[in-house]
Structure 1
Amino acid sequence: MDLTTTTLQVSIFIAIVFVHGLGSNPDTTWGPKGSNWISDFLPHDIPAALHKEIRVYFYNYDSYWKRDAVRTRLWWLGRGLLDGICSHIRRTEEALVLGSPDQAFTHVTKHTRGVVFLGTPHRGSSFSTYGSLAAQVLQPLGSNPLLLQEVAYDTPRLQDLHEEFERARGEQLHVVNFFEQRKTRLFKLWFWQWEEFCVREQSAIYSRVENIGLAVDHYGLNKFKSKDNESYKSVVRKLLSLIEPIAAQKQSQLYLVPVNTPGTYTERQKLSTEVADRLRVRHDNAIVPYALAIYGLGGTGKTQLALKYVEDHKDKYSPILWIDAKDKESVLSSYERCAGELQLQISPRQAQSTSLVDSPTVQAVLRWLEVRKKTEDAWLVVIDNADDFSSGIKRVLPRGDHGSIIITSQDSHARKLVGGGCEAVRVDTMERPEAQLLLLLHLQLDPDLATADVKHECDKVAEQLGYLALAIDLAGAYISNDDTDSAQALRRYLQRYTRHKDSLLRSEDFRGLLESEKTVWTVWDTTLEKIEALEAPEDSSSDLPARLLLHFLAQFRGAVVQDELFRLASPRVLDSRDALYDEPVALPSWLSKALAVKMEEWDNYCYERTRDRLIRYSLLQRTGGEWPGVLMHGLVQWRAKKYDEEQPWEKWHLMTVLAACTQLSGETARPQFRRELVAHIPAMEKMYLDELEIEEQKRVFVWHTVSTVYFSEGRWKDAEQLEVQVMETRKTKLGADHPHTLTSMGNLASTYRNQGRWDDAEKLDVQVMETSKTKLGADHPDTLTSMGNLASTYRNQGRWDDAEKLDVQVMETRKTKLGADHPHTLTSMANLAFTWKAQGQSAEAIVLLRHTSDILMGPSQSQYAREMGERPRQPPGNAGNYEKS
């Protein structure tokens, strides 16, 4: 015995099982030799919409009675059919007869909706008498006459079997009897022929069922040579009349999803594949064997992704329930809808409850799912928008060995709702081709026919919107409403976005016309409310509010806000504030907590605690690498910056950045962070500083602090622009001969030297040196430094004699004032040695360098270095270049 399927291999839903007659050859029962109307014709006559609902099976068994016959009886053949159905046709097909006394097959009757008999002898056949006699004669060859004796006409056994069948048949079982209206030719000799009815009408039909006669003989009931055969058409029409109501009922009652995939839905193949793969991972110890949390930033398309999976796999589950979990009322309403569709009886008096877990409606649905048997359909429940765990959603998640759960949430902890194990898929922004396709769908353009110009403009729109699915969907709706050509409509949107970004992103013009009720302005409000609910009021003394931290981080210019920036800023932020304002701007308590210092180190507890909450809800993303930090989506940043705009956010931001710059310039441990830090420095334009109400004299601190970082990072032009402003301001406010003014002139000269602008550097160096001699004296340390810097400029100009004179003067004065072994003296000695070497006085240069080395390293170490052929280590400072101002 075997149970095989036709080529109509589709998802299991409705099974049609074809069973051949007693003694028939399975290979020739359903058509002339070499053909089979079930596989050749039937799939083409079943509507395409029903293909995924149907699977066709052949049940083949050994009932040959003439020779080498299997010793069996009808009861065992029937038992074999049930065994085949149960072992090969799983899920919906596995449930077929609920009236059978054998508990192993109690599910079979319940799910059998129709039986079509093609010339079946319910009362037996007179042909079996002739066959029985023949079988007895053929017994020496191994025939089985018992089979034929059991189907002899009007035997008590057949009558009992038919009565049992009628008693077991429920009202839902539709029975159709097709019977032959022509005799079958058994023998022909010349003009004489023998014809008989194989199954007479009175045996093939009975009352209270549908009986249909066909103008064919017995063989014509099941062997159809052509689709045009009227008997074939009659049988197919009847099959479809049984199938279509079942399919319609299944779809309408068990697919309880109140939302639909929009016409502009864009397939995200990588994510869809990952969702399907994750839902095949089984967790045996979980409340359901298959569970998945789809999480990510609001507006990325989590609900649509879950819905797409549901629609693609709706033939795999029954029922499919959809629970809106955005708040307690929505959860309860969803369960009430499901209970009604499942026709669960709930007393109105019982349905009143103040909590979800105590709701009789919720409990009725949960019980219905939990007691589903493995022999019944697998079920799927989608818990959508599960962002607020405080509603009690965890306690009303379905349980059961035969179920699956999908949870969509902005909370990355959503997988923890499912006890025992749950898979997770993160949904991020769209890929560029996906975003482009979404816009083309809104424009009703075929992607293969759209012009390169249109696609390019689509890409520009998507890039402006940060590839956020919600924003692109809303933009697509807006653009499609433009009556100009597509390329022009896209360009007009970009132009308006540049000029009226706030208005476009706040717009609710398409609310109610798209699947989402949210806009870019509102999509993250509820998320922040959920985070704030986590911030217990009794713990407010130690907490840093998430909303405030998010809005503060939104002020930073760089893509990533590194933890190192806060570490650097923490010890200097108060100094930075005091340097900017005579009347200090109040530092809010939440910012003091973010930049708290304990035991001379940054205390990052409050910052990290709040930061991690924002990461949990995907409003921030954690980045790793050498300088770990956080980043946020561009539209989240836009929205965050609109919060409480009256507060001095930019002042607090500048204080923090300047504090980090000041600290970094004084540290030597990790100077390589400068490259990351400069990305956060605002453009120091006059309008910007005016808006922050920074007085002109205070701006010197800003320019100097930032120019120092630019200088150290090698951004000479940026440093120059700020140093010029520092110098000019100090000249005006302090005078040209003030020490601070001279320092700023020296700094600017150093910047000129690094740009190779030797003449500009010389002019400033001469002014600084001469003024310092006059105001401070020729032997003042600052004067000597300026002389050393001018000598360095001369060297770079190739003016070796001028450089030598200054180098000698500096060296001799320092020897006298500081001593021969002072680091500054050694620096000047090394500078003179380099000048001599450049003049060709190598012997003198070597002697001086050895002398310097002996002082710095000690005679024995210096001698060892010379013997090993090594060059003596340079003394501190830029000995061969210039002296630091």
Structure 2
Amino acid sequence: MRLLHIDSSERLIPTDFSGKTIPPYAILSHTWGGDEFLFEDLVNGTGKSKAGYEKILFCGEQAARDHLQYFWVDTCCIDRWNLRELSNAINSMFRWYRNAAKCYVFLSDISAPMTDAQLHQSIWEASFRKSRWFTRGWTLQELIAPASVEFFSLERQRLGDKESLEQQIHEITGIPVEALRGDPLEDFSVKDRRAWMAGRQTTQEEDLAYSLIGIFGVSMEFRYGEGKERALNRLQEEMEKANTTLFIVPFDRNARFVGRKSQLAELKGKLFVGALTTKVAITGPGGIGKTQLALELAYRIREEFKNCSVFWIPVSDMESLHQAYTHIAQRLNIPGWDDEKADVKELVQLYLSKESAGQWLLVFDITDGARLETAGSSQPVSLIEYLPVSDQGAIVFTTTDRKTAVTLGLQDIVELPEMEQDIAQRMLEMYLISPANEPEVADLLLKELAYIPLAIVQAAAYININKITLGQYLLLLAEQKEEVIELISKECENVIASTWLISFEQIRLQDTLAADYLLFMACVDPTDVPLALLPTTSPREKGIDAVGTLDAYSFVTKRTAESALDLHRLVHLSTRNWLKNQESLSEQTQVAITRLLEVFPDSNHWNRSKWRRLLPHAKFALSSSLPGQENEARINLTYKHAMALFSDGRFNEAEAYFNDALQSWKEVLGQEHPDTLTSMANLASTYRNQGRWKEAEDLEVQVMETSKRVLGQEHPSTLTSIANLASTYRNQGRWKEAEDLEVQAMETSKRVLGQEHPSTLTSMGNLACIWKGHGRDVDALELMKQCVEIRARILGSNHPYTLSSSTTLLGWEAEKLEVSTSADRE
């Protein structure tokens, strides 16, 4: 990637960052005119009189105001005579816009000369809605990809950004606000994404296809002259190939990966051999580069095995494993993946074990200290139980623990040795923006950094941002207080704690919000932290800048497709150790719990995708809270966490959290408080769903009797408790007792809540099942029909309750037809 900057003499200087660390940069989005400043003008020092040169100056000056040294403009940063470079640019464009710190949209057909254009929006908004920019093909990805998009008039006046103008942009383009806010594009159908291009035009007809490459997450060779239809057909072919050969890896390829040639060759030589699934474990100390090696392997397998699906599975505990398998099941569209009673891990295992699944590679990136064992076992058997078996498959594990490596990889273990000095030297050079030109000092620095890749990356990031010499960084290392480093470096190398502390102290001075974000993320799971989970800030741009700061210091890795961040385990650990040293971990954990409670949704089925992403973070925060933190926020989050697990059919896990909430409510609110009774009822429901009838019945009787006395005979919670006890009786075949209670619940619900209230419909469906259970087939069929009709009208035909009762009704009708047919045959 070639970036521009304006030097002290106001000269426009290009710098090629191919294979090097790309610094934070701004990017321009605009519509082309007839007098653009081109690559030839840039290299020849000509063209400053061109009209298009003003846009270059605008972008550079605006970037400087936003404290960004570098910027990118398509007219002059791509050598269009170099076909290879042009092809790479077309396939990389979406990623370049997505990774930009700022995207400036220059609207040459909008005039707003006022000092504060936003105060006079009524004057320019009509022109804004008709701007040519919204009609061009390439600007679609330039609108969607970047997190920060700002709009400027011809006079360089800021009109607003993607957030403040969200409603207008939605109305102009028809693009859902969720897509504008950065939701994963995979959440939107192919049909919907194609519709976003409707009415847009491109100068070259083939660009109608090429400009959609990033929107659909594919790459393709460009062939100007092939015509629009052929280009669109090839795009469709690439999309179909991508749908059948999935590549689910949340990280971009590391363009600065160096060394490890022998380990890569060894790994590739072990994969896809033999009659069964090949398993290989990569092991070595933290920070040595296991994840980066596995990432490079994944991309090389993708290149060499065109029909091989690749799945990246970050694992810190069984919760993260469950979420990763759920995502894979959804992308593979495995039947039943969204059934709350299904074991999604087993579904993925069975699917990939079939020959029809084709060739695949699973990469389990296991966090140090991952909790993968089942109760009573010290072995990671829970993970082993869900590994697919196929002679077309291969599995790679990364772990610091050799015992885990032996258990998972058997005898196929690749150990990463300390990085060799010459490779470490190359790595440092690639990560530094400016050449070091200090070979002796560089050798001394690398020795101090123990040739550990993570330490080298963090040191280089600090040097780049603060523009210091290698010698100055060596002095910073020497100045670190040994006793502080000892406290922070528990469970990791001292040198990693040192590089972390140097960078963190500087971040606290430069960007307090970035420091706050890091401290917050130290109290949730370090994997897949959604940007939407970070504490809210105003204005939003500060939040984007803060994330950029953490990225620039190599503290986080962006999951750009998911709008999320990952922290390296040792960065996460160092930050937590620092909080402990400051005696602030308890306070910061409470901040995380409070924020999680704000964003954690209720257990409505429409919220399933959201709560599944937040479950690992809620679990981590709750498990990390210290004794004496039994406050309302923690109890409420525990309850919400339990309800989400329950709604996903994970009753064993939900039981522990319901029990935790119950004991807390008893202490805080008392035995007979409605919230205490609700927690008790939910705990009983987990027993019932596990077939533990006696335990369920005992609790439900207690809840029902207390509710009648405290809340009243006709209170909705009392009616729910009656219905729950009836369900327990029904599941045991105690039909008369179940019927009496369910009739009571249904009739009272009709009178108190109404004929069409969801609780009334639930009782109606349950009573129909009771009648069916003890032979009243005709009555049961008629009552279930009523239930389905009302649910379809009130809740919608696709609501899970409607679908469940419809499935039951269809089964009964099919059974009735079979009985009738059999009688006719006889």
**How high is the TM-score relative to the length of structure 1?**
0.36
Larger radius of gyration: 1
